[in-house]
Amino acid sequence: MIEIYLGTFSGGWAIDGRTQGWSSHVAAPEGLERWVGDIARRHASRWRKPRVVLWLSGGLARPCLCGPVAGLSGWQDAEAFAASAAPEATGLEGPCQVRLEDWPGEVPVLCTAIDAALGDAIQALAKSHRIVWHSVRPRWAALLDEALLRTPSTRLVCLAEEDALTLVGGPASNWPPAPAAGFELASTYAPAPDADQATALWHRMLLSLDVQPDDAWFAQLEPVVEGEATAPVAGAANAPAWPRLAQPTQATA
Within the chain, strands assigned E span 2-6, 10-15, 18-24, 51-56, 62-66, 96-100, 109-115, 132-138, 156-160, 165-169, 185-189, 216-220
At 24-71, the pLDDT tens digits run: 999 999 999 999 999 999 887 777 889 999 999 999 999 999 988 888
pLDDT band at 171 (very low <50, low <70, confident <90, very high): low
> Confidence band (pLDDT; 50, 70, 90) for 221?
confident
The three-state secondary structure class of 28 is: helix
Helix (H) or strand (E) holding 79: helix 75-90
- Start-to-end CA distance of the chain, whole Å, equals 31
Q: What percent of the chain has pLDDT over 90?
A: 49
Residue 239 — very low, low, confident or very high, per pLDDT cuts 50/70/90?
very low
- The candidate with the shortest Cα–Cα distance to 253, out of 168, 208, 196, is 196
Go through the chain and tell me how many residues it has.
253
SS3 call for 235:
coil
Burial 57-73 (b: 16+ CB within 10 A, else e): bbbbbbbbbbbebeebe
pLDDT at 149 over 70: yes
Nearest to 104 by CA among 69, 54, 152: 69
pTM: 0.87
pLDDT tens-digit series, residues 73-130:
888 998 999 999 999 999 999 899 999 988 887 788 899 999 999 999 999 999 999 8
